[in-house]
Structure 1
Amino acid sequence: MATPLEAAPSTGRRAVDIAMLALAVLSVALLTYVTFATVSPETAQAVFVIDTAICAVFAAEFVWRWRIERWNRRFPLRHWYEVLGMIPVAHPALRSLRLVRIVVLLLRLARTTDRVFGERATQRFAERFSRPIVDAIKKPVTVAVLDEVAKVLETGRYPRNIARAVDEHRDLLRDLVTEKVKSDPQAGALSRLPFHDEVLRSLVDTTIRVLLDVLADPRTDEFFSGAVRENQAQIRAAVAQGLHEREVP
Protein backbone atom coordinates (compact mmCIF):
# COMPACT_ATOMS: atom_id res chain seq x y z
CA MET A 1 0.00 0.00 0.00
CA ALA A 2 1.41 3.37 -1.01
CA THR A 3 2.13 5.95 1.63
CA PRO A 4 0.53 9.41 1.38
CA LEU A 5 3.89 10.76 0.26
CA GLU A 6 4.17 8.19 -2.51
CA ALA A 7 0.58 8.93 -3.56
CA ALA A 8 1.28 12.64 -4.05
CA PRO A 9 0.82 14.05 -7.59
CA SER A 10 3.63 12.59 -9.69
CA THR A 11 4.44 15.73 -11.70
CA GLY A 12 4.91 18.01 -8.71
CA ARG A 13 6.65 15.27 -6.80
CA ARG A 14 9.11 14.69 -9.63
CA ALA A 15 9.90 18.39 -9.89
CA VAL A 16 10.56 18.61 -6.16
CA ASP A 17 12.73 15.50 -6.29
CA ILE A 18 14.83 16.93 -9.11
CA ALA A 19 15.27 20.23 -7.28
CA MET A 20 16.18 18.51 -4.01
CA LEU A 21 18.59 16.20 -5.83
CA ALA A 22 20.35 19.18 -7.39
CA LEU A 23 20.59 20.95 -4.04
CA ALA A 24 21.82 17.78 -2.33
CA VAL A 25 24.57 17.32 -4.91
CA LEU A 26 25.51 20.99 -4.62
CA SER A 27 25.62 20.84 -0.82
CA VAL A 28 27.79 17.70 -0.89
CA ALA A 29 30.17 19.34 -3.36
CA LEU A 30 30.43 22.54 -1.32
CA LEU A 31 30.93 20.71 1.96
CA THR A 32 33.57 18.47 0.42
CA TYR A 33 35.34 21.50 -0.99
CA VAL A 34 35.55 23.49 2.26
CA THR A 35 36.43 20.37 4.26
CA PHE A 36 39.34 19.06 2.24
CA ALA A 37 40.59 22.13 0.35
CA THR A 38 42.41 25.22 1.55
CA VAL A 39 40.05 28.15 1.09
CA SER A 40 40.18 31.82 1.99
CA PRO A 41 38.02 33.19 4.83
CA GLU A 42 35.85 35.02 2.30
CA THR A 43 35.22 31.85 0.32
CA ALA A 44 34.48 29.87 3.47
CA GLN A 45 31.98 32.50 4.58
CA ALA A 46 30.28 32.49 1.18
CA VAL A 47 30.03 28.70 1.21
CA PHE A 48 28.56 28.86 4.71
CA VAL A 49 25.84 31.28 3.58
CA ILE A 50 24.96 29.09 0.60
CA ASP A 51 25.03 25.93 2.70
CA THR A 52 22.78 27.49 5.33
CA ALA A 53 20.28 28.51 2.65
CA ILE A 54 20.31 24.97 1.24
CA CYS A 55 19.75 23.55 4.72
CA ALA A 56 16.78 25.88 5.15
CA VAL A 57 15.30 24.56 1.90
CA PHE A 58 15.94 21.00 3.07
CA ALA A 59 14.13 21.76 6.33
CA ALA A 60 11.14 23.30 4.55
CA GLU A 61 10.89 20.34 2.16
CA PHE A 62 11.21 17.93 5.08
CA VAL A 63 8.31 19.62 6.89
CA TRP A 64 6.27 19.54 3.67
CA ARG A 65 6.80 15.79 3.29
CA TRP A 66 6.01 15.27 6.97
CA ARG A 67 2.76 17.19 6.50
CA ILE A 68 1.84 14.94 3.57
CA GLU A 69 2.47 11.98 5.89
CA ARG A 70 -0.14 13.55 8.21
CA TRP A 71 2.51 14.35 10.85
CA ASN A 72 3.23 10.69 11.41
CA ARG A 73 5.48 10.47 14.47
CA ARG A 74 7.54 7.73 12.85
CA PHE A 75 8.45 9.91 9.90
CA PRO A 76 11.33 11.78 11.62
CA LEU A 77 12.58 8.47 13.03
CA ARG A 78 12.66 6.88 9.59
CA HIS A 79 14.50 9.89 8.18
CA TRP A 80 16.73 10.72 11.15
CA TYR A 81 19.76 11.01 8.86
CA GLU A 82 18.05 13.82 6.97
CA VAL A 83 17.46 15.73 10.20
CA LEU A 84 21.14 15.52 11.10
CA GLY A 85 22.12 16.31 7.53
CA MET A 86 20.37 19.68 7.79
CA ILE A 87 22.96 20.98 10.23
CA PRO A 88 24.91 23.80 8.52
CA VAL A 89 28.43 22.70 9.44
CA ALA A 90 30.17 24.74 6.75
CA HIS A 91 30.79 27.59 9.20
CA PRO A 92 34.52 28.51 9.26
CA ALA A 93 34.56 28.16 13.05
CA LEU A 94 33.77 24.46 12.65
CA ARG A 95 36.61 23.77 10.25
CA SER A 96 38.62 21.98 12.93
CA LEU A 97 35.72 19.58 13.53
CA ARG A 98 36.46 17.66 10.38
CA LEU A 99 34.92 14.44 11.68
CA VAL A 100 31.59 16.18 12.26
CA ARG A 101 31.69 17.58 8.75
CA ILE A 102 32.43 14.17 7.28
CA VAL A 103 29.49 12.65 9.17
CA VAL A 104 27.13 15.35 7.89
CA LEU A 105 28.59 14.88 4.41
CA LEU A 106 27.76 11.17 4.53
CA LEU A 107 24.25 11.96 5.74
CA ARG A 108 23.72 14.30 2.84
CA LEU A 109 24.97 11.61 0.50
CA ALA A 110 22.28 9.41 2.02
CA ARG A 111 19.73 12.08 1.17
CA THR A 112 21.02 12.16 -2.40
CA THR A 113 20.76 8.37 -2.56
CA ASP A 114 17.11 8.58 -1.55
CA ARG A 115 16.44 11.03 -4.36
CA VAL A 116 18.07 8.79 -6.94
CA PHE A 117 16.98 5.32 -5.84
CA GLY A 118 13.76 5.94 -3.96
CA GLU A 119 12.33 7.42 -0.79
CA ARG A 120 13.62 4.73 1.56
CA ALA A 121 16.74 3.56 -0.25
CA THR A 122 19.07 4.58 2.59
CA GLN A 123 16.79 3.04 5.18
CA ARG A 124 16.67 -0.26 3.30
CA PHE A 125 20.43 -0.17 2.78
CA ALA A 126 21.03 0.45 6.48
CA GLU A 127 18.67 -2.33 7.50
CA ARG A 128 20.34 -4.78 5.14
CA PHE A 129 24.00 -3.95 5.63
CA SER A 130 24.19 -2.42 9.11
CA ARG A 131 24.79 -5.78 10.76
CA PRO A 132 27.69 -6.83 8.48
CA ILE A 133 29.21 -3.36 8.78
CA VAL A 134 29.00 -3.44 12.57
CA ASP A 135 30.44 -6.97 12.64
CA ALA A 136 33.31 -5.86 10.42
CA ILE A 137 34.36 -2.87 12.52
CA LYS A 138 33.45 -3.82 16.07
CA LYS A 139 36.38 -6.21 16.61
CA PRO A 140 39.09 -3.76 15.47
CA VAL A 141 37.44 -0.98 17.48
CA THR A 142 37.19 -3.18 20.57
CA VAL A 143 40.84 -4.22 20.29
CA ALA A 144 41.95 -0.62 19.75
CA VAL A 145 40.04 0.60 22.79
CA LEU A 146 41.37 -2.30 24.83
CA ASP A 147 44.95 -1.46 23.83
CA GLU A 148 44.51 2.17 24.85
CA VAL A 149 43.00 1.21 28.20
CA ALA A 150 45.81 -1.27 28.81
CA LYS A 151 48.43 1.41 28.09
CA VAL A 152 46.81 3.71 30.64
CA LEU A 153 46.68 0.94 33.24
CA GLU A 154 50.30 -0.04 32.63
CA THR A 155 51.61 3.49 33.03
CA GLY A 156 49.60 4.19 36.19
CA ARG A 157 50.73 3.59 39.76
CA TYR A 158 47.52 2.09 41.00
CA PRO A 159 49.02 -0.04 43.81
CA ARG A 160 50.45 3.16 45.28
CA ASN A 161 47.03 4.78 45.02
CA ILE A 162 45.62 1.88 47.01
CA ALA A 163 48.43 2.31 49.54
CA ARG A 164 47.55 5.98 50.01
CA ALA A 165 43.89 5.10 50.50
CA VAL A 166 44.79 2.43 53.08
CA ASP A 167 47.05 4.84 54.92
CA GLU A 168 44.41 7.57 54.98
CA HIS A 169 41.83 5.17 56.44
CA ARG A 170 44.18 3.27 58.71
CA ASP A 171 42.09 3.88 61.85
CA LEU A 172 38.90 2.84 60.10
CA LEU A 173 40.49 -0.38 58.84
CA ARG A 174 41.93 -1.14 62.28
CA ASP A 175 38.52 -0.76 63.93
CA LEU A 176 36.85 -2.76 61.17
CA VAL A 177 39.27 -5.69 61.38
CA THR A 178 39.15 -5.68 65.18
CA GLU A 179 35.37 -5.76 65.11
CA LYS A 180 35.29 -8.64 62.63
CA VAL A 181 37.84 -10.66 64.60
CA LYS A 182 35.90 -10.23 67.83
CA SER A 183 32.65 -11.25 66.16
CA ASP A 184 34.21 -14.32 64.54
CA PRO A 185 32.96 -17.52 66.27
CA GLN A 186 36.43 -19.07 66.45
CA ALA A 187 38.78 -16.11 66.80
CA GLY A 188 36.37 -14.40 69.18
CA ALA A 189 36.98 -17.10 71.78
CA LEU A 190 40.54 -15.80 72.13
CA SER A 191 39.22 -12.53 73.55
CA ARG A 192 39.38 -14.08 77.02
CA LEU A 193 43.16 -14.30 76.82
CA PRO A 194 45.20 -11.66 78.69
CA PHE A 195 46.20 -8.60 76.67
CA HIS A 196 43.97 -9.76 73.81
CA ASP A 197 43.06 -6.27 72.62
CA GLU A 198 46.66 -5.04 72.69
CA VAL A 199 47.92 -8.09 70.80
CA LEU A 200 45.15 -7.82 68.23
CA ARG A 201 45.78 -4.12 67.68
CA SER A 202 49.48 -4.77 67.28
CA LEU A 203 48.84 -7.52 64.73
CA VAL A 204 46.46 -5.32 62.74
CA ASP A 205 48.92 -2.41 62.72
CA THR A 206 51.73 -4.71 61.64
CA THR A 207 49.60 -6.15 58.86
CA ILE A 208 48.70 -2.68 57.60
CA ARG A 209 52.34 -1.56 57.66
CA VAL A 210 53.43 -4.63 55.70
CA LEU A 211 50.58 -4.13 53.24
CA LEU A 212 51.59 -0.50 52.70
CA ASP A 213 55.21 -1.49 52.13
CA VAL A 214 54.18 -4.14 49.62
CA LEU A 215 51.91 -1.77 47.71
CA ALA A 216 54.58 0.95 47.63
CA ASP A 217 57.26 -1.43 46.37
CA PRO A 218 58.11 -0.89 42.65
CA ARG A 219 57.97 -4.66 42.15
CA THR A 220 54.25 -4.51 42.88
CA ASP A 221 53.86 -2.05 40.00
CA GLU A 222 55.71 -4.48 37.75
CA PHE A 223 53.48 -7.31 38.93
CA PHE A 224 50.34 -5.26 38.24
CA SER A 225 51.56 -4.24 34.77
CA GLY A 226 52.39 -7.84 33.95
CA ALA A 227 48.95 -8.98 35.04
CA VAL A 228 47.36 -6.29 32.87
CA ARG A 229 49.42 -7.33 29.85
CA GLU A 230 48.59 -10.99 30.31
CA ASN A 231 44.87 -10.31 30.62
CA GLN A 232 45.03 -7.95 27.67
CA ALA A 233 46.56 -10.67 25.50
CA GLN A 234 43.88 -13.15 26.55
CA ILE A 235 41.06 -10.68 25.90
CA ARG A 236 42.49 -9.69 22.51
CA ALA A 237 42.72 -13.35 21.51
CA ALA A 238 39.15 -13.98 22.69
CA VAL A 239 37.84 -10.99 20.73
CA ALA A 240 39.76 -11.99 17.60
CA GLN A 241 38.39 -15.54 17.78
CA GLY A 242 34.87 -14.36 18.60
CA LEU A 243 34.72 -16.48 21.73
CA HIS A 244 32.49 -13.92 23.45
CA GLU A 245 29.90 -14.29 20.67
CA ARG A 246 29.48 -18.03 21.01
CA GLU A 247 26.39 -19.24 22.75
CA VAL A 248 26.94 -21.00 26.04
CA PRO A 249 25.39 -24.51 25.85
Structure 2
Amino acid sequence: MNTEQRSTPTLDTLSMPQQTDLPDGVIPFYGTAKAPERRPSRTKLGYDILMLLLLLVDLALILTDTILTSGIAHSLAQWLNLSAVLVNYQQNYHDSIATIGGFFTLFWLGELLVRWGLAIYARTYYRWFFFPFVHWYEVLGVIPALRILRLLRVVVIVRRLHRLGIQIVPQRWIQSAQFYYHVLLEELSDRVILTAIDNFRTQLHQPTGKHGQLLQQTIAANRSQIETAILELLRRELTPRLQAALLAEQGERLSASVGAAVEQALDDTPELRKYLKLIPIAGGMIESQIHSVGRSIGKQVTTAINQHLFADETLDGLMRAIAHGISQIDTTHPQVQTLVAEVVELSLSAFEEQIKIQQWKHRQQLP
Protein backbone atom coordinates (compact mmCIF):
# COMPACT_ATOMS: atom_id res chain seq x y z
CA MET A 1 0.00 0.00 0.00
CA ASN A 2 1.44 3.34 -1.00
CA THR A 3 1.75 5.82 1.83
CA GLU A 4 1.83 9.52 1.12
CA GLN A 5 4.90 11.32 2.43
CA ARG A 6 3.99 13.99 4.98
CA SER A 7 6.26 16.84 5.95
CA THR A 8 5.99 19.61 8.51
CA PRO A 9 4.93 22.86 6.79
CA THR A 10 7.07 25.96 7.16
CA LEU A 11 5.86 29.48 7.84
CA ASP A 12 6.33 30.37 4.19
CA THR A 13 3.86 27.69 3.11
CA LEU A 14 1.14 28.88 5.47
CA SER A 15 -1.33 31.57 4.47
CA MET A 16 -3.84 33.73 6.28
CA PRO A 17 -7.15 31.83 6.55
CA GLN A 18 -10.02 33.40 4.70
CA GLN A 19 -13.58 33.80 5.92
CA THR A 20 -14.64 30.59 4.17
CA ASP A 21 -11.86 28.67 5.96
CA LEU A 22 -12.90 29.72 9.46
CA PRO A 23 -15.28 27.61 11.58
CA ASP A 24 -18.74 28.87 12.31
CA GLY A 25 -18.91 31.31 15.20
CA VAL A 26 -15.35 32.61 14.75
CA ILE A 27 -15.09 36.36 14.12
CA PRO A 28 -12.03 37.25 12.00
CA PHE A 29 -10.09 40.45 12.55
CA TYR A 30 -10.06 41.56 8.94
CA GLY A 31 -12.97 42.11 6.58
CA THR A 32 -14.11 39.54 4.08
CA ALA A 33 -13.59 41.78 1.06
CA LYS A 34 -10.04 42.78 1.83
CA ALA A 35 -8.06 43.77 -1.28
CA PRO A 36 -5.06 41.63 -2.19
CA GLU A 37 -1.76 42.79 -0.73
CA ARG A 38 0.25 44.94 -3.12
CA ARG A 39 3.02 47.48 -3.05
CA PRO A 40 1.78 50.70 -1.39
CA SER A 41 1.71 53.98 -3.26
CA ARG A 42 4.27 56.74 -2.93
CA THR A 43 1.83 58.66 -0.77
CA LYS A 44 1.73 55.86 1.82
CA LEU A 45 5.50 55.47 1.68
CA GLY A 46 5.96 59.21 2.14
CA TYR A 47 3.46 59.18 5.01
CA ASP A 48 5.32 56.34 6.75
CA ILE A 49 8.66 58.13 6.35
CA LEU A 50 7.16 61.41 7.65
CA MET A 51 5.64 59.63 10.68
CA LEU A 52 8.96 57.91 11.30
CA LEU A 53 10.81 61.25 11.36
CA LEU A 54 8.23 62.82 13.67
CA LEU A 55 8.38 59.85 16.00
CA LEU A 56 12.16 60.03 16.14
CA VAL A 57 12.01 63.73 16.96
CA ASP A 58 9.36 63.14 19.62
CA LEU A 59 11.28 60.28 21.21
CA ALA A 60 14.52 62.27 21.10
CA LEU A 61 12.87 65.16 22.96
CA ILE A 62 11.33 62.77 25.50
CA LEU A 63 14.64 61.03 26.09
CA THR A 64 16.63 64.27 26.34
CA ASP A 65 14.20 65.90 28.74
CA THR A 66 13.95 62.78 30.90
CA ILE A 67 17.72 62.48 31.19
CA LEU A 68 18.35 66.17 31.90
CA THR A 69 15.70 66.31 34.63
CA SER A 70 16.84 63.14 36.37
CA GLY A 71 18.94 62.89 39.51
CA ILE A 72 21.74 61.21 37.57
CA ALA A 73 22.10 64.27 35.36
CA HIS A 74 22.24 66.49 38.45
CA SER A 75 25.01 64.39 40.02
CA LEU A 76 26.93 64.20 36.75
CA ALA A 77 26.62 67.97 36.22
CA GLN A 78 28.06 68.63 39.69
CA TRP A 79 30.95 66.25 38.98
CA LEU A 80 31.70 67.98 35.64
CA ASN A 81 31.11 71.50 37.01
CA LEU A 82 28.19 72.00 34.63
CA SER A 83 25.50 72.69 37.21
CA ALA A 84 24.85 76.16 35.79
CA VAL A 85 24.15 74.71 32.32
CA LEU A 86 21.77 72.13 33.75
CA VAL A 87 19.95 74.69 35.87
CA ASN A 88 19.65 76.98 32.84
CA TYR A 89 18.02 74.18 30.84
CA GLN A 90 15.62 73.25 33.61
CA GLN A 91 14.55 76.86 34.14
CA ASN A 92 14.38 78.10 30.53
CA TYR A 93 13.89 75.10 28.23
CA HIS A 94 12.18 72.34 30.23
CA ASP A 95 8.72 73.93 30.03
CA SER A 96 9.10 74.52 26.28
CA ILE A 97 10.11 70.90 25.67
CA ALA A 98 7.17 69.73 27.80
CA THR A 99 4.82 71.95 25.77
CA ILE A 100 6.16 70.52 22.50
CA GLY A 101 5.65 67.04 23.96
CA GLY A 102 2.04 67.94 24.74
CA PHE A 103 1.48 69.08 21.15
CA PHE A 104 2.99 65.81 19.94
CA THR A 105 0.60 63.88 22.20
CA LEU A 106 -2.39 65.75 20.79
CA PHE A 107 -1.08 65.18 17.27
CA TRP A 108 -0.71 61.40 17.79
CA LEU A 109 -4.17 61.25 19.33
CA GLY A 110 -5.73 63.08 16.39
CA GLU A 111 -3.75 61.02 13.86
CA LEU A 112 -4.90 57.83 15.59
CA LEU A 113 -8.55 58.88 15.48
CA VAL A 114 -8.29 59.82 11.80
CA ARG A 115 -6.79 56.45 10.89
CA TRP A 116 -9.47 54.74 12.97
CA GLY A 117 -12.16 56.59 11.04
CA LEU A 118 -10.53 55.68 7.71
CA ALA A 119 -10.36 52.03 8.79
CA ILE A 120 -14.07 52.09 9.59
CA TYR A 121 -14.85 53.73 6.25
CA ALA A 122 -12.74 51.22 4.29
CA ARG A 123 -13.99 48.30 6.41
CA THR A 124 -10.43 47.21 7.02
CA TYR A 125 -11.47 45.17 10.05
CA TYR A 126 -14.47 42.94 10.52
CA ARG A 127 -15.77 45.08 13.43
CA TRP A 128 -15.35 48.82 13.90
CA PHE A 129 -13.93 48.41 17.43
CA PHE A 130 -11.12 46.02 16.38
CA PHE A 131 -8.79 48.90 15.44
CA PRO A 132 -7.65 49.85 19.00
CA PHE A 133 -6.99 46.19 19.80
CA VAL A 134 -4.78 45.72 16.75
CA HIS A 135 -2.95 49.03 17.37
CA TRP A 136 -2.87 48.74 21.16
CA TYR A 137 0.67 50.09 21.41
CA GLU A 138 -0.42 53.32 19.71
CA VAL A 139 -3.45 53.68 21.96
CA LEU A 140 -1.35 53.24 25.09
CA GLY A 141 1.41 55.44 23.64
CA VAL A 142 -0.97 58.38 23.61
CA ILE A 143 -0.97 58.32 27.42
CA PRO A 144 1.83 60.66 28.62
CA ALA A 145 3.07 58.17 31.21
CA LEU A 146 3.43 55.48 28.51
CA ARG A 147 4.99 57.61 25.78
CA ILE A 148 7.90 55.18 25.50
CA LEU A 149 5.52 52.75 23.74
CA ARG A 150 5.71 55.02 20.71
CA LEU A 151 9.01 53.28 20.07
CA LEU A 152 7.01 50.18 19.07
CA ARG A 153 5.42 52.12 16.23
CA VAL A 154 8.90 53.09 15.07
CA VAL A 155 9.78 49.39 14.99
CA VAL A 156 6.60 48.58 13.05
CA ILE A 157 7.22 51.31 10.45
CA VAL A 158 10.90 50.36 10.04
CA ARG A 159 9.94 46.71 9.64
CA ARG A 160 7.32 47.59 7.01
CA LEU A 161 9.82 49.72 5.09
CA HIS A 162 12.39 46.91 5.22
CA ARG A 163 9.85 44.53 3.72
CA LEU A 164 9.40 46.99 0.87
CA GLY A 165 13.16 47.09 0.26
CA ILE A 166 13.84 50.47 1.89
CA GLN A 167 16.84 49.89 4.15
CA ILE A 168 16.53 52.15 7.19
CA VAL A 169 18.71 50.23 9.64
CA PRO A 170 21.90 48.58 8.28
CA GLN A 171 21.59 44.82 7.93
CA ARG A 172 24.69 44.31 10.01
CA TRP A 173 23.05 46.14 12.92
CA ILE A 174 19.95 43.98 12.59
CA GLN A 175 22.00 40.78 12.59
CA SER A 176 23.97 41.95 15.62
CA ALA A 177 20.75 42.83 17.46
CA GLN A 178 19.25 39.43 16.64
CA PHE A 179 22.44 37.70 17.78
CA TYR A 180 22.54 39.47 21.14
CA TYR A 181 18.81 38.96 21.56
CA HIS A 182 19.27 35.21 21.16
CA VAL A 183 22.29 35.33 23.53
CA LEU A 184 20.20 37.06 26.19
CA LEU A 185 17.25 34.73 25.64
CA GLU A 186 19.44 31.62 25.83
CA GLU A 187 21.26 32.78 28.96
CA LEU A 188 18.00 33.63 30.72
CA SER A 189 16.34 30.36 29.76
CA ASP A 190 19.44 28.40 30.81
CA ARG A 191 19.42 30.05 34.24
CA VAL A 192 15.73 29.24 34.68
CA ILE A 193 16.20 25.61 33.64
CA LEU A 194 19.29 25.13 35.83
CA THR A 195 17.46 26.61 38.82
CA ALA A 196 14.53 24.26 38.23
CA ILE A 197 16.93 21.29 38.00
CA ASP A 198 18.60 22.26 41.30
CA ASN A 199 15.21 22.58 43.00
CA PHE A 200 14.10 19.19 41.71
CA ARG A 201 17.40 17.60 42.75
CA THR A 202 17.00 19.04 46.24
CA GLN A 203 13.50 17.62 46.54
CA LEU A 204 14.73 14.30 45.19
CA HIS A 205 17.20 13.86 48.06
CA GLN A 206 14.76 14.90 50.77
CA PRO A 207 13.34 11.93 52.71
CA THR A 208 9.94 13.60 52.98
CA GLY A 209 9.86 14.76 49.36
CA LYS A 210 7.03 14.04 46.98
CA HIS A 211 9.19 12.23 44.43
CA GLY A 212 8.09 8.85 45.83
CA GLN A 213 4.44 9.76 45.37
CA LEU A 214 5.21 11.11 41.90
CA LEU A 215 6.98 7.86 41.01
CA GLN A 216 4.04 5.76 42.25
CA GLN A 217 1.51 7.84 40.34
CA THR A 218 3.60 7.75 37.17
CA ILE A 219 4.07 3.96 37.25
CA ALA A 220 0.46 3.33 38.26
CA ALA A 221 -0.80 5.39 35.33
CA ASN A 222 1.48 3.63 32.83
CA ARG A 223 1.56 0.01 34.02
CA SER A 224 -0.02 -1.27 30.81
CA GLN A 225 2.53 0.58 28.67
CA ILE A 226 5.37 -0.69 30.90
CA GLU A 227 4.09 -4.25 30.59
CA THR A 228 3.82 -3.95 26.80
CA ALA A 229 7.36 -2.55 26.51
CA ILE A 230 8.87 -5.26 28.74
CA LEU A 231 6.97 -7.99 26.87
CA GLU A 232 8.23 -6.69 23.52
CA LEU A 233 11.77 -6.58 24.89
CA LEU A 234 11.58 -10.13 26.22
CA ARG A 235 10.13 -11.42 22.96
CA ARG A 236 12.88 -9.77 20.94
CA GLU A 237 15.85 -10.53 23.18
CA LEU A 238 15.16 -13.51 25.47
CA THR A 239 12.92 -15.80 23.41
CA PRO A 240 15.34 -16.26 20.46
CA ARG A 241 18.21 -17.04 22.84
CA LEU A 242 16.23 -19.67 24.74
CA GLN A 243 15.14 -21.33 21.50
CA ALA A 244 18.68 -21.16 20.15
CA ALA A 245 19.89 -22.94 23.29
CA LEU A 246 17.53 -25.86 22.48
CA LEU A 247 18.63 -26.04 18.86
CA ALA A 248 22.32 -25.87 19.78
CA GLU A 249 24.35 -28.56 21.55
CA GLN A 250 22.78 -27.83 24.93
CA GLY A 251 19.58 -29.65 24.00
CA GLU A 252 21.39 -32.75 22.80
CA ARG A 253 23.67 -32.73 25.82
CA LEU A 254 20.70 -32.53 28.18
CA SER A 255 18.97 -35.40 26.40
CA ALA A 256 22.14 -37.53 26.49
CA SER A 257 22.67 -36.73 30.18
CA VAL A 258 19.10 -37.66 31.11
CA GLY A 259 19.35 -40.90 29.05
CA ALA A 260 22.62 -41.80 30.75
CA ALA A 261 21.06 -41.06 34.14
CA VAL A 262 18.12 -43.39 33.41
CA GLU A 263 20.52 -46.10 32.25
CA GLN A 264 22.61 -45.69 35.39
CA ALA A 265 19.47 -45.85 37.54
CA LEU A 266 18.52 -49.17 35.93
CA ASP A 267 22.05 -50.41 36.40
CA ASP A 268 21.96 -49.43 40.08
CA THR A 269 18.73 -51.38 40.68
CA PRO A 270 19.84 -54.73 42.31
CA GLU A 271 16.38 -56.25 42.21
CA LEU A 272 16.26 -56.02 38.42
CA ARG A 273 19.64 -57.68 38.08
CA LYS A 274 18.65 -60.41 40.56
CA TYR A 275 15.49 -61.26 38.62
CA LEU A 276 17.28 -61.24 35.28
CA LYS A 277 19.84 -63.72 36.57
CA LEU A 278 17.03 -66.18 37.16
CA ILE A 279 16.50 -66.26 33.40
CA PRO A 280 19.17 -68.52 31.94
CA ILE A 281 21.01 -67.56 28.75
CA ALA A 282 18.66 -64.62 27.78
CA GLY A 283 19.04 -62.71 31.07
CA GLY A 284 22.18 -60.78 30.06
CA MET A 285 20.75 -59.91 26.65
CA ILE A 286 17.49 -58.69 28.23
CA GLU A 287 19.45 -56.56 30.72
CA SER A 288 21.37 -54.91 27.87
CA GLN A 289 18.16 -54.20 25.95
CA ILE A 290 16.51 -52.74 29.06
CA HIS A 291 19.45 -50.36 29.50
CA SER A 292 19.24 -49.31 25.83
CA VAL A 293 15.49 -48.80 26.03
CA GLY A 294 15.86 -46.77 29.24
CA ARG A 295 18.49 -44.54 27.66
CA SER A 296 16.29 -44.00 24.58
CA ILE A 297 13.22 -43.22 26.71
CA GLY A 298 15.21 -40.71 28.75
CA LYS A 299 16.39 -38.93 25.61
CA GLN A 300 12.95 -38.85 24.01
CA VAL A 301 11.22 -37.63 27.18
CA THR A 302 13.82 -34.87 27.62
CA THR A 303 13.49 -33.83 23.98
CA ALA A 304 9.69 -33.71 24.27
CA ILE A 305 9.89 -31.63 27.44
CA ASN A 306 12.37 -29.24 25.82
CA GLN A 307 10.20 -28.84 22.75
CA HIS A 308 7.18 -28.11 24.93
CA LEU A 309 9.01 -25.67 27.18
CA PHE A 310 10.65 -23.81 24.31
CA ALA A 311 7.61 -23.73 22.03
CA ASP A 312 6.40 -20.30 20.90
CA GLU A 313 3.14 -20.57 22.82
CA THR A 314 4.79 -21.70 26.06
CA LEU A 315 7.55 -19.10 25.92
CA ASP A 316 5.08 -16.36 25.04
CA GLY A 317 2.92 -17.22 28.02
CA LEU A 318 6.01 -17.25 30.25
CA MET A 319 7.13 -13.86 28.92
CA ARG A 320 3.66 -12.44 29.51
CA ALA A 321 3.74 -13.62 33.12
CA ILE A 322 7.23 -12.16 33.64
CA ALA A 323 6.28 -8.83 32.06
CA HIS A 324 3.11 -8.61 34.13
CA GLY A 325 5.05 -9.38 37.31
CA ILE A 326 7.65 -6.71 36.58
CA SER A 327 5.00 -4.11 35.75
CA GLN A 328 3.34 -4.75 39.13
CA ILE A 329 6.54 -3.93 40.98
CA ASP A 330 6.16 -2.39 44.42
CA THR A 331 7.33 1.20 44.01
CA THR A 332 7.40 1.76 47.79
CA HIS A 333 10.35 -0.59 48.20
CA PRO A 334 13.42 1.39 49.37
CA GLN A 335 15.75 -0.30 46.88
CA VAL A 336 13.43 0.56 43.98
CA GLN A 337 13.19 4.20 45.06
CA THR A 338 16.97 4.40 45.47
CA LEU A 339 17.49 2.95 41.99
CA VAL A 340 15.02 5.36 40.43
CA ALA A 341 16.58 8.28 42.30
CA GLU A 342 20.03 7.35 40.95
CA VAL A 343 18.71 7.04 37.39
CA VAL A 344 16.94 10.41 37.66
CA GLU A 345 20.07 11.97 39.15
CA LEU A 346 22.20 10.74 36.24
CA SER A 347 19.62 11.98 33.75
CA LEU A 348 19.49 15.40 35.42
CA SER A 349 23.28 15.64 35.43
CA ALA A 350 23.49 14.78 31.72
CA PHE A 351 20.72 17.26 30.92
CA GLU A 352 22.42 19.92 33.05
CA GLU A 353 25.72 19.46 31.23
CA GLN A 354 23.92 19.86 27.91
CA ILE A 355 22.20 23.03 29.10
CA LYS A 356 25.51 24.53 30.26
CA ILE A 357 26.84 24.39 26.71
CA GLN A 358 26.49 27.92 25.35
CA GLN A 359 25.11 27.34 21.89
CA TRP A 360 25.51 30.98 20.87
CA LYS A 361 29.28 30.59 21.05
CA HIS A 362 29.09 27.81 18.47
CA ARG A 363 26.78 29.86 16.24
CA GLN A 364 29.18 32.78 16.50
CA GLN A 365 31.87 30.67 14.83
CA LEU A 366 29.61 29.89 11.88
CA PRO A 367 30.07 31.98 8.69
TM-score interval, smaller chain: 0.3 to 0.5
Q: Identify the structure with the greater helix proportion.
A: 1
TM-score norm. by structure 1 comes to: 0.44
The higher relative CO (CA closer than 8 Å, separation ≥ 6) is in 1
